[in-house]
Structure 1
Amino acid sequence: MHVNRREFLRKSLCAALGGVSVHSALGNLKLISAATAATRYSFSDYKALVCIYLGGGNDSFNTIAPCDATNYAIYAGTRQGLALPQAQLLTNSLSPLAGGLPSDGATYAMHPAMGALRGLFNTGKVAVVANVGTLVEPITQHEYQNGLKPTPAQLYSHDDQTNQWQTSRPDDANADGWGGRVADMFASANAGQLPMSITMSGINRFQRGNVVNQYALDSWGASGIAAGAPADGDFSVPGMNYRGDGPESWLLPADAGRAAAFDALRASGGQGNMLERAFADSTSRAIANATLINAAMVGTRLATPFPDTDLGNQLAAVALMIKVRASLGMSRQVFFVSVGNYDTHGTQLTDQNSNLGELSDALAALHAASVEMGIENGVTAFTASDFGRSLAINSDGTDHGWGGHHFVVGGAVRGQRFYGTMPKLTQYDESQPNNGNPDDTGYGQIIPTIAVDQYSATLARWFGVDAGGIADIFPNVGRFNGGGNLGFML
């Protein structure tokens, strides 16, 4: 891989902080007491949660669309120029098991670009969780339009809704991520020194915790740190290649004076303030972790091919990290990957075709790799996004919405089923009874019927969090019917 000087320095700085956020680097004052008081956990099995974040807000209503004659006509009437051809949908139709049919009795299909994921659904490895979104409590159209119940702050805002999806706390703007809170609870479960939370997409709210720091990797491996600046221009950085080259150690020429100054900055006991101590601790930990990871990766191979895409490369790196889990002493891991370009205000048909094809192929490859490693039941991947998009269209795109459908993939998934209530796809019309669509806010956004809290808590329960832990990590989940178990995990 060729990296220019500016990009190298950026990546090296991330490595120096080991992916740790300022929130954690400054050592939240609760850290020591929390770590001391934490329950000791020990697991005899291995489980990994893999969050695939679709940045920008995915349009669910073309991701999964009805293809039977009656319901396709309704969908096409509302979606107009954005409606996918019925013939293409029919060839990608889903075959849910009895008892797992969609709530409205319609026949649904995945987007035509998602053939690989459709195949996994029809063999029981994928579940569709319908109409998920951020909620303070259940709310109806009447309650929303008349302000009778609270709604999450700054609905339809990318930043706010991303934070609420990743924290599962629409009532607390400063909350840590729910993945981070789970990792904090299980901080003692892993025997190795590597953090439980691994991000392939930089710092994120989902993995922010008080005890466990995020550790940032690139799809080409763990970054090293050089005291000297590289020469101007491009240069080659050998790294992790999921097709089988394996990682290689690399060094850059370092000026002796700079090296001495760098070592002095991170030497223990010589720092005069909190920032210096945080830098020294994070940098030393990052160097130790990078050395550990790259040593474990030497000679590591996977026969499963991954697509050469952004998401494919990230998930390939996740798969390799899972493969070396035993040598790293890991029994629980939380991974975060993300891709963008889902904010489809325009050219949606073209952009979504590319986006969803990438998602489908990469998720299928991750599942195939888990089967190859004999750990199919221990790896669960799930999608998340800022919000769904509007049912109403905006020329050749859609606007920011609210509720949307999501996928859960893995051997432990009770797949080939729909969970939750599919929303009506009829166009909003004030002249009609119930405005034509009681699921619509009145502006084209669909009101969620499953809370992010329920979706997230079901995943956390599978990961090993008990009922008491669920109540601590997801304090609002009791407001919703069914609480923290939607039933889509074995």
Structure 2
Amino acid sequence: MKDRPISAPTRRDFLRWAAGGAASTTAFSALSSGPLFAAAAQGGGGYKALVVLYLAGGNDSFNLIVPTDSSAYNEYATSRQNLAVPLNDLLDIAPATSDGHTYGLHPAVPELRDLFDAGRLAISVNTGNLVRPVTRAEYQASSVALPPRLFSHNDQQAQSMRVRADDGGAIGWGGALADHQAYLNGVTSLSPSITVAGSTPMLTGAATQAYHLGTSGSVSLGGFNGNTGAAIQATFDALRGQGHTNLYQRQFAQTRAEAIELDGVISAALGAQTTLQTEFPAESKVSPQLKMVAKMIQAQATLGMERQVFFVRMGGFDTHAGQLEDQPVLYADISASVAAFQAAMAELLMENQVTLAVVSEFGRTLSSNGQGTDHGWGGHFLAVGGAVAGGDLYGTMPSFALEGADDAGSGRMIPSQGTDQFAATLARWFGVPDIELAVMFPNLGNFATNHLGFMG
């Protein structure tokens, strides 16, 4: 571990900020005031990247993986009614560990089935926002702590992205990973966390801020082109270069200068890379974002990055109506886009260094409302990559009976494992030691294990 100045925050400072959300702007400014990319990588173990694909709206993943043995399928079909996927249409899979049932994937995801069969995809079943484990009886009696405002889109999205579901001020678990990397390597001008989908609580850090990319690359300042562009640029540079006595003016000028410099660095790094041969789907909501992430990963050595967290987003999953028409289209897009991204990582020889996680704010109701599903709770998350212990299901499938042991009411399945555990499993692979996981994720100690086992 490198020496640090006496005034620099400690590792525990970073983790304490992550757990409590007590971000320090002063500390961030002090750490980020050095020259561009001045900190040498000290994390060890080579490059790693976590890519979070967020399915906004609440993914009805109970149609993504379906039991195919007769007794379990009949229970599923009875509960799902008109939304049940026909048994003969399902794509058979053979999980490495049997729970006594057989399963198949939605017919629109043949590429995901191939990744599962190849040991590159793992499914974290019935996962969702929890403060601690809860049973149906405990939920009905309100006898244990629960995430506040369950079944609300805005609240559950924020909670699913934070290091604790019961603290509105806590930072995002992607931001916490970036903070951890910043402690090891120093805060560089290019943040370890990058979003290609706009602002997100997922990448809110205590000592780091997410860098925003567009699907075409770095987003440059506008207004400097055309006949008057040169004059505007000169005026802007003159204003920026003045010796400002006001602290806020000086900080704004410095931030602008770093943004302009960083835009040039990233544009040059991306432009220096060879063209990826992997073809991404042309008609896709999410492929342009994943393709840009792939290009940034290709340029990571040029940019001097050791660890990175990326955020991409796909909407359209709030399927109260039209689910039978919309869900196959959404799933086909996910399947083809994720497979293309994985192929790009193989092309770059980065399969083992990059893990893609597919998550959502909640699952949807097991019951049908006639045209679709309503806001639920537990659902299935995915992990894809060469370091994933794929080809298996992790966790316990819920009962598919309405008003059964796992139904909180109205077909909302109670999660059997928490989002914290899923995120901590990825953090462990990312390089966060076990001893620090409980500090980074304060509610983790409420669960039987701090990792779910799907990372090899």
> Match for residue 49 of structure 1?
50
> Match for residue 169 of structure 2?
174
Inter-partner Cα distance in structure 2 for 1:392 and 1:310: 28
Inter-partner Cα distance in structure 2 for 1:330 and 1:388: 35
Once the two structures are TM-superposed, the CA of residue 93 in structure 1 deviates from its matched residue by 1.3
> Match for residue 267 of structure 2?
294
2:436 to 443, 451, 469: 469
Once the two structures are TM-superposed, the CA of residue 265 in structure 1 deviates from its matched residue by 4.7
> Match for residue 92 of structure 2?
93
> Match for residue 306 of structure 1?
280
Q: Structure 1 length as normaliser, TM-score?
A: 0.83
RMSD: 2.3
Q: 1:259 to 1:35 in 2, by over 3 A?
A: closer
Confirm or deny: 8 A CA contact 1:265 1:271 kept in the other structure.
no
Report runs of 4+ in structure 1 exceeding 6 Å deviation.
33-36
Inter-partner Cα distance in structure 2 for 1:127 and 1:191: 33
> Match for residue 382 of structure 1?
357
SS in 2 for 1:212: coil
> Match for residue 416 of structure 1?
391
SS in 2 for 1:310: coil
Inter-partner Cα distance in structure 2 for 1:130 and 1:410: 18
Would you say 1:221 and 2:187 are equivalent positions? no
Confirm or deny: 8 A CA contact 2:129 2:159 kept in the other structure.
yes
> Match for residue 246 of structure 1?
none
Q: Which runs of 5+ in 2 are unaligned?
A: 1-20, 34-38
Confirm or deny: 8 A CA contact 1:191 1:330 kept in the other structure.
no
Once the two structures are TM-superposed, the CA of residue 136 in structure 1 deviates from its matched residue by 1.0
Would you say 1:207 and 2:203 are equivalent positions? yes
Q: 1:400 to 1:225 in 2, by over 3 A?
A: same
Inter-partner Cα distance in structure 2 for 1:302 and 1:340: 26
Per-residue CA deviations over 1:94-127 (Å, capped at 9, x if unaligned) read 1112xx23x3x22111111110011100110000
> Match for residue 446 of structure 1?
413
Q: Which runs of 5+ in 1 are unaligned?
A: 1-23, 229-250, 429-436
Confirm or deny: 8 A CA contact 1:208 1:214 kept in the other structure.
yes
Would you say 1:486 and 2:452 are equivalent positions? yes
Confirm or deny: 8 A CA contact 1:226 1:254 kept in the other structure.
no
Confirm or deny: 8 A CA contact 1:30 1:210 kept in the other structure.
no
Per-residue CA deviations over 1:9-61 (Å, capped at 9, x if unaligned) read xxxxxxxxxxxxxxx9x96244357789x998422411000000000000011
Confirm or deny: 8 A CA contact 2:356 2:383 kept in the other structure.
yes
> Match for residue 183 of structure 1?
178
Inter-partner Cα distance in structure 1 for 2:443 and 2:187: 32
Confirm or deny: 8 A CA contact 1:190 1:196 kept in the other structure.
no
Size of the aligned set, in residue pairs, is 427
> Match for residue 326 of structure 1?
301
Inter-partner Cα distance in structure 1 for 2:206 and 2:88: 51
Structural mapping, 1:45-444, within 5 Å: 45-89=46-90, 92-97=91-96, 100-101=97-98, 103=99, 105-187=100-182, 188-189=184-185, 193-228=189-224, 251-255=225-229, 258-267=232-241, 269-270=243-244, 272-274=246-248, 276-298=249-271, 299-308=273-282, 309-428=284-403, 437-444=404-411
Confirm or deny: 8 A CA contact 1:41 1:186 kept in the other structure.
no
Once the two structures are TM-superposed, the CA of residue 210 in structure 1 deviates from its matched residue by 2.0
Confirm or deny: 8 A CA contact 1:82 1:397 kept in the other structure.
yes
Per-residue CA deviations over 1:312-362 (Å, capped at 9, x if unaligned) read 111111111111111110111100000100000000111111111111111
SS in 2 for 1:336: strand
Q: Structure 2 length as normaliser, TM-score?
A: 0.89
Confirm or deny: 8 A CA contact 1:48 1:380 kept in the other structure.
yes
